Amino acid sequence: EAWPVFERLFEENGLPDRFRSDNGSPFASAGVTGLTPLAVRFIKLGIALERIQPGKPQQNGRHERFHLTMLPMAKAPEADRAAQAKAFEAFRRSYNEERPHEALGMGTPAQHYRPSTRPMPKTTPEPDYPDEAAVRSVRQNGAVKWQGAEIYVSATLAGEPIAIEETENGEWAVRFYAHPLGFIDHKHMKMVRRSAAPIQALGAAANPL
């Protein structure tokens, strides 16, 4: 249900460079890749995934602060959905266009907003894997065939092409588009997940979401 909303937002505002979220649904899963159908869509559009560490909501502080601002309205819901929609629209207008924000020098978000320079593509781009990469299509059971063994990757990626590339230290890294999935543990012939890249400050790159 979340994708149609994001699709409309991306068509209207362009694509973010990265998307920061917690580790819950619909953004992340407990599987070895941590992917969900929504995350797969983001990756295919070239949106980098950032996941905060479990139990550290301060790593997404702006989002949490927004929740606190909206909480009083949510605690007193309207009588029906139409009235609630009007209340949300009034809050959105006040928050973005009227209410001064100390973090923005007492300006409003609307005054600082700039649309993304990355338009939503008409068709989903194909992955650009190098010639030396071993490309495998993920089977319906979520596995790929590798050196005579069946390696489980993710059922969420069924039908998708992944790349397996040898690193400088002799490991076999697995990725989907530009998103690293993990490494193949040859001793146990399974894919293992490594820790994600450190969280950046929100202002460190363009077009965050």
Structure pTM? 0.83
pLDDT reading at 22 higher than 70: yes
* Choice among 131-135, 143-147, 198-202 with the minimum mean pLDDT: 198-202
Q: What's the Cα-to-Cα distance from 100 to each of 23, 60, 65, 88, 92, rounded to whole Å?
A: 31, 21, 14, 18, 13
pLDDT reading at 96 higher than 90: yes
Name all contacts of 24-28 with Cβ < 8 Å and 24+ positions apart. 26/2, 27/51
What are the residue boundaries of the structural domains of the chain, listed by start?
134-192
For CA atoms 76, 81, 86, 90, the dihedral sign is positive
Structure tokens belonging to residue 138:
């993920």
- Quick: pLDDT tens for 40-81: 999 999 999 998 877 787 777 788 888 888 888 878 888 999
In whole angstroms, give the CA distance from residue 176 to residue 107.
40
pLDDT reading at 205 higher than 70: no
Instruction: Report which DSSP code applies to 207.
Output: S
Residue pair 196/158 in contact by the 8 Å Cβ criterion: no
